[in-house]
Each structure stands twice: as structure tokens, then as C-alpha cells.
Amino acid sequence: MLSRRSLIGALSVTVALASAPAAYAQDEIYIPMISKGFQHQFWQAVKAGADQGAEEFGVRITFEGPDNETMVDRQIDMLAAALANNPAAIGFAALDSQAAIPLLRQASEAGIPIIAFDSGVDSDIPMATATTDNVAAAALAADMMAEFLGGEGTVAVVAHDQTSRTGIDRRDGFLNRMESEYPDIEVVSVQYGAGDQLQSTEVAKAILTANPGLGGMFGTNEGSAIGIVNAVREMGAEGLTIIGYDSGKAQTDAIREGLMAGAITQNPVGIGYETVKAAVAAMNGEELPDIIDTGFYYYDQSNIDDPEIQAVLYD
Amino acid sequence: MSTTTVEAPKSTLSQIIAAGTHQRVLAFASLVVLLIGFSLASPNFMQTSNMLAILQATSVNGVLAIAVTLVIITGGIDLSVGTMMTFCAVITGVVLTYAGMPLMLGVVAAVLTGAACGACSGTFVAKMAIPPFIATLGMMLILKGLSLVISGTRPIYFNDTPGFSEISRGSLIGEVFPALPIPNGVLILFIVAAVTAYILNRTVLGRYCFALGSNEESVRLSGVNTDRWKIAIYALAGSIVGIAGLLIASRLNSAQPALGLGYELEAIAAVVIGGTSLSGGRGSILGSLIGALIMAVLTNGLRVLSVAQEWQTVVTGAIIILAVYADMMRRNKTN
């Protein structure tokens, strides 16, 4: 009857001892980063950038995020655990900014600077936000699309959602640029596929069926773009210009084989790096801009293997 | 599961309680060992604020675990508790934010919604003889979908109901003893645990709960309307899930319609660590409460130690298997 007690005891002590050195080094500068996700390749690329920054500035970081982007309360638990370790600063990508505000306020009252990354927090607590200018990035996608279509025709958008900041900014960035600059291009449909590859495939197929002769489609994130590619493959549609967003193996493959014209990529590595850099600057009392633009690129068959592009793509 | 004894429904209450005490002592000892281990490993672990964070993190999962314990004791399983919690939160959002009703009605709505959902699951299981795994899997998806439909896939915020966030975040204890600002969510967890333990161990409903899990057929043959009792137990579990819905909505000051999947598995894990048998007829509320605490302490402790997230998940899985294995070994010996 002692077995469970002793087994759990032994295990916990092992874990504790294994990580004790890290925990005891109190004089080092510790910056926890609480992300929106963890397993997704995009977040792993953000982590890689943060690790790079940590090494350069001589700080220790941890990088955590909930299993999926709906687990708002789990993210708050992570923030609470991070606060227990007396961090020098915190990097935070809010799933729901309102829900996190009490803890963020507690941190800022304790004098811990907060740097938001990826998406903003609707409050003045974060000292800066390291993020992609999604409106400008989607406008670039519209420019490229117009170039391929020769300034006329019909296009459709498969967006990931109509509620998140990134979903709204990318959709509107694309639509507004089309409306203001390219009067002969008509946006015939904007549909939402939740960023899920399968769901986006169905949405894209419905659009293709409803709009024969469609000139181009824009997918606002990895899942949406891959959904369009899948739909075109399954229906054997031809002559469609596809522009995607972010990367991932399926999308880069589609670009290499010419099925997809090109895609916008954010700079996830830059997001991670700039967050750590800003956190260190904030700790040292330096002034920071409200928004740190981490940049974006358009890539296609011609430049996909450039070192500059390869550095920000992920599989 | 060949080791599980099929207890006759005649088995006395005192026997059941005695068996339970044993598991609780074991689970409690594991919890203490974990707390000591983490305290030794990191000086940042044993701080009042961190202990409060652990309790706060336990509150929702703990209440869900209590609800699912009832169903598991009857020999069933409830996979719908996570999305049911969300559904109750969304209904509360509709009542408070969209309809602008007073706070108390929102609370009542959450509990009643949970009870109604639970009664539905119970009806599917009892009257339509659908296996609990399938019936509650169906409910899980139905409720997830309904939450999205009703909320229009957007979070519903409770900014117009000022007292709402106090349900979980406020601290009545802290007002009396300022040194001990235990959040109300935790207080509610303990009250729910105490009341449910009373129902389970001291009322007819509780007795039938164990009896159904031990030998449903003989209960039926002795002239008891087992269907009715089963539906009642699922409804009770549902109303407890409604309380979890209130807690999470209050903590986030919003009803998040997409949230909920995955929470049922963590609740079941807590129940199992607490020594409740998945084959029914055996289990305790205190055990599940301790199980939920063990999960929260483990997650928080590993985070405070900065263990890589990949390994946190591995350790949690290993603990679940060890806990159940040790419990089965112990029962083998006592048999």
C-alpha cells in the first residue's frame, strides 16, 4: 500500500532534482513568455527567435502556451505560475485580453514590465507590442493578386475568422486595398473556415462551385490557404491565382509546384526576438514605441530558397 | 479490471466509507509529498500567492471532477462536462448580458441549464439504453455546437454585471481575514464538495448511486425504478457542471464559446487519481478533490521549476498511470 506514495514521491523528487539547478540560479534575469500556442510550427518559430534573443542578451526565457487557442483559463494559470518566479519582465500573447487584465495589472503594479507579442492587449498595461502589421501585409497580397490578374476579374477570400484581430485586419487589409486601388476587380465572396484545413477546403470548394471563372483566391492564414489548395486539387480547377499567408510544408510545396502563386509570410522568428529585446530594454528603463513592427515578406517560386526568406519560413 | 469486487447493494454504508478512507489517505499523502518535493526544489513554489494560484486553478477542474465522479460511480462516464460547462456559461451570458437580468437569475440559469442537460444525458442512457460513452459524446458535440450558435461564435462579456466577476475572483474569506485572501471560486469548490459528499454518503440518492454502479440488475430486480434514479444522478451532476460554468465565466469575465473540449479528460484524470473506479460502484468526492489538487500542484510545480512543456505533459500522464496502478495493486492485496 506504500507503492503509490513512494512511486509518486520518487518521481516528483527526481523531477525536482533534475530541474533544481535552473530554479536555484536566482541572480539571472528571467523572462517567461506566455504564448497563444505551443505545438504549432508558427509558435515554435517564435520560440526559436526568443531563444536567439535570450542568448544574445544573456537572459533566461521559458516559452509556454496552452494546447489550443480556446483554453483562455489555462493561459491565465500559466501567467500566474510565471509570476511566482519573480520574473524581470513578461512576454504575453493574449488569447482574450480582457480575461488576463487582472493578472497583468498585478504584474505591472509589482513593477514587472509586460511586452505583448503577436496580438495586442486592449489596455495600456503592455509597454510595447511586437507584431506584424497585418493590414499592410494583406494589402501587399492584394497588390500581388491584382498584378497577376492584370487589374481585372473576380476574387474571393477564405478567412480564418471574423472575430480575432488578425482575422479582421487581414480580411479588411485585402478588401480595402482592392476597393481603393483596383476598381475593376470584384470581390465576389468572403467566407470563413476557422483556420481549419478541412473546413477551409469545404468553404473553398463551395466558393469555386458558386463562382465559375473565378480569377483568384486569398487565404488569410496557413489553414485557410491550404484549404484553397486542397479544394483546387480535389476539383481540378485551373487558371486560379492563389495567394496564401504564413508557411508550413503543404503551402511551400504548393508554391514550389506552381499551384499557389505566392504567399505572405510574417516573421515569427523576428516576433520572438523583438519581444525579448523589448523586454530587456523595458527592464533597463528605456523608452519603447507602442508597436514594434516585426516585418513581413512576399515569397514565391523565385525567392523561396533565398536565405532571408528561408529564415522566416517553417515546415 | 478483473480485480473489482462487485459489491452487493446490501453492503453497508460503513463498509463503503471505510474503503474510501483508505484511498483518501493515500491520495492525500501523495499530495503532501508533491508539495514538499516542489518546495524543496524551488524557493518560489511555497508562496501564499502561488498557493492561491494553485487553488484558483483547481476550482473549475475540481468542480467538474466532482460532477463526473457521481456519474462514474454509477458505472457510467460523462464526456460532455467540458462543453456543458461552456454551454451553461453561454446561457448565463445570454441571461445577464443580452437580457440584462439581475445577477441571481444568471446563477439560477446556469445551474438549471446544467441540470436540464444532465437530465437529457441521463434519459439517453437510462430510457434509450445508449451506452454512456456514446450518449455523452453526442451531448458533448451538441452542446459545443449550441454554444457557438447561441453566442454567434463570439465571447459574451459580463462588463454590464459588475458583481459577476466577484463570484470567482472576489474573496469573502479575505474580507474577514485579510491575511488569507482565498478566492470565492475556491470556497465554492469546497462547499460543492461538502454538499455532494453529504448527498453521496448520507442520502438515498447517494446509496442508489453506488448500488447502480455495483449491480444495476439486482437493484432493478428488487423493484427500484433504476431509470428514474439514474436520470436524477445525471441531472445532479449537470447542475454541478452549471456551477463550474459560472466559475469559469466569472474568472474570465466572459463566456468563451469555443472553450471546453479537453476539460472532460482532465476531470476524469482527477477522478481516477483520487481512487474512484471507472468500473463503478466505488469512489469518493474527497478523493476526486484531492485528485484535482494533485493535477494542479503538479502542473504549477513543473511550471515554476521551468520544466519544458513537452515534459510536463509526459509527467502528468505517467502520474495518472502510476496512481491507478498503485491503487489496483493495493486492492489486489486487500482482496
Q: pLDDT for A95-125, tens place per residue? A: 887 888 888 988 989 899 999 998 777 788 8
A 157-216 near B (Cβ less than 8 A): 161-163
- Cα gap B77→B169, rounded to integer Å: 31
Count Cβ atoms below 10 Å from residue A300 Cβ, excluding itself.
16
DSSP B242-300: HHHHHHHHHHHTEE-TT--TTHHHHHHHHHHHTT--TTSS---HHHHHHHHHHHHHHHH
Distance between B231 CA and the closest CA of chain A, angstroms: 30
- Cα gap B331→A235, rounded to integer Å: 59
| For residues B231-256, average pLDDT | 94
pLDDT at B110: 97
pLDDT at A10: 52
The burial of A58, by beta-carbon neighbours within 10 Å (0-12 exposed, 13-18 middle, 19 or more buried), is given as exposed
Mean pLDDT of chain A: 87
Choice between A234 and A55, residue whose per-residue pLDDT is larger:
A55
Count Cβ atoms below 10 Å from residue B43 Cβ, excluding itself.
14
Highest mean pLDDT among B115-124, B294-303, B310-319: B115-124
pLDDT at A18: 47
Contact A96 B256 (CB under 8 A): yes
Check CB contact of A284 with chain B, cutoff 8 Å. Answer: no
Q: What is the largest CA-CA distance in chain B?
A: 60
| pLDDT above 70 for A304 | yes
Check CB contact of A8 with chain B, cutoff 8 Å. Answer: yes
Contact A9 B33 (CB under 8 A): yes
Highest mean pLDDT among A8-22, A171-185, B217-231: A171-185
- Give the number of beta-carbon pairs within 8 Å between A and B: 154
Show Cβ contacts of residue A260 under 8 Å, excluding neighbours closer than 6 positions.
A225, A228, A229, A242, A243, A244, A251, A254
Under the banding of pLDDT at 50, 70 and 90, the label for residue B22 is low
Q: Which of B258, B299, B327 sits opposite A70 (nearest CB)?
A: B258
Residues of B within 8 A of A161 (CB-CB) are 153
Interhelix angle for B81-93 vs B103-126, to 10°? 150
| For residues A223-232, average pLDDT | 92
Residues of B within 8 A of A78 (CB-CB) are 303
Amino acid at A105: R
pLDDT at A24: 45
Under the banding of pLDDT at 50, 70 and 90, the label for residue A162 is confident
Whole-structure pTM value: 0.76
Q: Give me the half-sphere count of Cα atoms (radius 13 Å) on the Cβ side of residue B118.
A: 33
pLDDT at B29: 86
Count Cβ atoms below 10 Å from residue B199 Cβ, excluding itself.
17
- Cα gap B118→B132, rounded to integer Å: 12
Residues of B within 8 A of A65 (CB-CB) are 309
Show Cβ contacts of residue A168 under 8 Å, excluding neighbours closer than 6 positions.
A162
pLDDT at B20: 56
Q: Is residue A25 within 8 Å of B44, Cβ to Cβ?
A: no
pLDDT at B21: 65
| pLDDT above 80 for B5 | no
The burial of B178, by beta-carbon neighbours within 10 Å (0-12 exposed, 13-18 middle, 19 or more buried), is given as exposed
**Percent of chain A residues past pLDDT 90, beyond the cut:** 54
pLDDT at A198: 81
Q: Which of A22, A78, A163 sits opposite B153 (nearest CB)?
A: A163
Check CB contact of A10 with chain B, cutoff 8 Å. Answer: no
Q: Which residue of B has its CA nearest to A164?
A: B154
Judged by average pLDDT, the poorest of A31-35, A68-72, A167-171, B301-305 is A68-72
| For residues A33-55, average pLDDT | 89
Return phi, psi of residue B261, to 5°: -65, 140
Q: Is residue B330 within 8 Å of B26, Cβ to Cβ?
A: yes
| For residues B268-296, average pLDDT | 91
pLDDT at B259: 87
Judged by average pLDDT, the poorest of A27-41, A256-270, A276-290, B257-271 is A27-41
Burial B48-61 (b: 16+ CB within 10 A, else e): eebbbbbbbbbbbb
Q: Which of A64, A67, A98 sits opposite B157 (nearest CB)?
A: A98
Q: Which residues pair with A192 in a beta bridge?
A: A159
Residues of A within 8 A of B325 (CB-CB) are 4
Show Cβ contacts of residue B177 under 8 Å, excluding neighbours closer than 6 positions.
none
| pLDDT above 50 for B232 | yes
Which of A160, A182, A156, A181 shows the shortest CA–CA distance to A170?
A160
H helix or E strand, kind and range, residue B175:
helix B172-176
Show Cβ contacts of residue B276 under 8 Å, excluding neighbours closer than 6 positions.
B69, B72, B73, B282, B283, B284, B287, B288
The predicted complex's ipTM stands at 0.70
pLDDT at B24: 67
DSSP B187-223: HHHHHHHHHHHHHHHHSHHHHHHHHHHHHHHHHHHTT
Check CB contact of A14 with chain B, cutoff 8 Å. Answer: no
Give SS3 for A218: strand
Q: Which of A12, A24, A36, A98 to mutate to test the interface with B (most CBs of B within 10 A)?
A: A12
Interhelix angle for B81-93 vs B263-273, to 10°? 130
| pLDDT above 50 for A282 | yes
| pLDDT above 60 for B62 | yes
| pLDDT above 70 for B310 | yes
**Percent of chain B residues past pLDDT 70, beyond the cut:** 92
Check CB contact of A71 with chain B, cutoff 8 Å. Answer: yes
Check CB contact of A73 with chain B, cutoff 8 Å. Answer: yes
Mean pLDDT of chain B: 88
| For residues A141-158, average pLDDT | 95
Q: Which residue has the cell 452549471?
A: B242
Q: Is residue A35 within 8 Å of A65, Cβ to Cβ?
A: yes
Residues of A within 8 A of B37 (CB-CB) are 9, 12-13, 15-16
Contact B40 A16 (CB under 8 A): yes
Q: Is residue B239 within 8 Å of B114, Cβ to Cβ?
A: yes
Under the banding of pLDDT at 50, 70 and 90, the label for residue A11 is low
| For residues B39-67, average pLDDT | 91
Q: Which residue of A has its CA nearest to B38?
A: A16
| For residues A210-224, average pLDDT | 92
Choice between B7 and B238, residue whose per-residue pLDDT is larger:
B238
Q: What is the largest CA-CA distance in chain A?
A: 78
pLDDT at A265: 93
| pLDDT above 90 for B79 | yes
Distance between A212 CA and the closest CA of chain B, angstroms: 30
Judged by average pLDDT, the poorest of A37-41, A166-170, A255-259, B90-94 is A37-41
Choice between A314 and B212, residue whose per-residue pLDDT is larger:
B212
Judged by average pLDDT, the poorest of A237-241, B21-25, B285-289 is B21-25
- Cα gap B301→B273, rounded to integer Å: 17
Count Cβ atoms below 10 Å from residue A22 Cβ, excluding itself.
16
| pLDDT above 90 for A16 | no
